[in-house]
């Protein structure tokens, strides 16, 4: 069988939404390849009767993404079966984040690097490490995770943040996502990284966190998600889930969304400790008063 290869070269911050779109439409998911000056996202559609509908669905999805941020035009080419099966594995390279972490595809063995390896399936769910906001969170984890600290990860996606927290020394980690497929993937990734005894993954959001951990508070909460949902978390009293002196890392915030979020937080027990900026993206670290 022949396959239609779709390829996009784009800025790293656009990799995850593109990979998520490709992964929903392509039977074998998407491949994310780091380049010197960006990221290449590729997927393959079987050349069968469903190809026209799938291609139209993908092009429509890219058009909708382009209404939020400009997306480059994809490249299309037909390839034979053998090359596409191995191409993405041949080209995928480890992704070094911060000072201590290294993101690796699940099939690759860790090398002699002193970094802590985190094994993930590239292109599956949100959380490959390529997006600016994910990098912000991972770099914050290196600083904020202490031995035995209790962590909650809201909107966990692939589980990359909760798993990294556990690998950095956290005690119990509660990870939540409203997407059942993401929950399954995060559970599988926790097993893959040998931290299934520490990372418990549930379907749900902040209300599920409250019901799952009655009477429990956390030293660190992670939320890398849309700014509107972060505001909902603040209104729902997420600060009440933190221990005194505990921190919450909120990421996924565009520059023009920052001030309303900070104003809302002033009405709670949260105090802004630090803001991390890269291009248009902002990550806020709050501390509980």
Q: What distances in angstroms separate CA 105 from CA 70, 108, 119, one per listed residue?
A: 28, 6, 5
Residue range 5-35, pLDDT digits in tens: 899 998 877 877 888 788 788 876 677 776 7
Residue 166 tokens, joined: 């556990």
pLDDT at 125 over 60: no
For residue 116, is it within any domain? no
Between the CA of residue 1 and those of 56, 63, 78, 90, 162, what are the distances in Å? 20, 28, 10, 21, 40
Task: State whether 197 and 62 are in the same domain.
Answer: no
Last residue of a domain, one of 91, 121, 153: 91
CA-based R_g, the chain, Å = 19
**What CATH code is carried by the domain that includes residue 238?**
3.40.50.150
Instruction: State the pTM of this model.
Output: 0.76
Give 162-207 pLDDT, tens digit per residue.
999 999 999 999 999 998 888 998 999 999 999 999 999 999 998 8
Of the two residues 122 and 100, the one the predictor is more confident about is 100
Least confident of 118-122, 157-161, 217-221, 229-233: 118-122
Percentage of the residues of the chain whose pLDDT score is greater than 70? 90
Residues 76 and 142 occupy one common structural domain: no
Q: Can you give the residue range of the structural domain that contains 152?
A: 131-288
**74 and 146 inside one domain:** no
Has residue 272 got a pLDDT over 70?
A: yes
Of the candidates 60, 76, 91, which is a domain's last residue? 91
Same domain, 193 and 281: yes
Residue 230 and residue 146 share a domain: yes
Q: In terms of domains, do 136 and 69 share one?
A: no
Give 62's contacts (C-beta < 8 A, 6+ positions apart). Answer: 18, 21, 71, 74
In a domain, 98, yes or no: no
Q: Are residue 167 and residue 266 in the same domain, yes or no?
A: yes
Q: Are residues 76 and 188 in the same domain?
A: no
Is 83 found in the same domain as 24? yes
| Residues 46 and 158 occupy one common structural domain | no
How many domains does one find in the chain?
2
Q: Do 82 and 135 belong together in one domain? A: no
- The per-residue pLDDT of the chain, averaged, comes to 87
Of 163, 96, 181, the closest CA to residue 130 belongs to 96
pLDDT class of 229 with cuts at 50, 70, 90: very high
CATH number at residue 40: 3.30.70
């Amino acid at each position: 069988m022949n396959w239609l290869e779709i390829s996009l070269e784009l800025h790293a911050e656009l990799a995850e939404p593109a990979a998520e779109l490709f992964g929903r439409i392509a039977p074998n998911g998407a491949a994310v390849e780091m380049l010197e000056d960006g990221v290449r996202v590729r997927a393959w559609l079987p050349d069968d009767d469903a190809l026209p509908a799938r291609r139209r669905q993908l092009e429509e999805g890219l058009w909708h993404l382009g209404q939020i941020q400009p997306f480059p035009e994809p490249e299309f080419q037909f390839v034979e079966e053998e090359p596409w099966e191995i191409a993405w594995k041949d080209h995928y390279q480890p992704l070094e984040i911060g000072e201590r972490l290294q993101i690796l595809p699940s099939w690759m063995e860790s090398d002699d690097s002193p970094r802590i390896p985190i094994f993930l399936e590239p292109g599956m769910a949100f959380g490959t490490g390529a997006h600016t906001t994910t990098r912000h969170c991972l770099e914050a984890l290196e600083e904020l995770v202490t031995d035995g600290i209790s962590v909650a990860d809201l909107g966990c996606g692939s589980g990359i943040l909760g798993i990294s927290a556990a690998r950095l020394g956290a005690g119990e980690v509660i990870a939540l996502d409203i997407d059942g497929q993401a929950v399954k993937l995060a559970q599988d990734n926790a097993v893959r990284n040998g931290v299934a005894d520490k990372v418990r993954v549930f379907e749900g959001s902040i209300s599920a966190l409250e019901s799952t951990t009655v009477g429990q508070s956390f030293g660190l909460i992670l939320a890398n998600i849309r700014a509107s949902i972060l505001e909902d978390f603040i209104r729902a009293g997420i600060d009440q889930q933190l221990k005194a002196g505990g921190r919450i890392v909120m990421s996924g915030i565009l520059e023009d969304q920052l001030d309303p979020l900070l104003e809302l937080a002033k009405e709670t027990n949260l105090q802004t400790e630090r803001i991390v900026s890269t291009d248009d993206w902002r990550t806020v670290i709050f501390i509980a008063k």
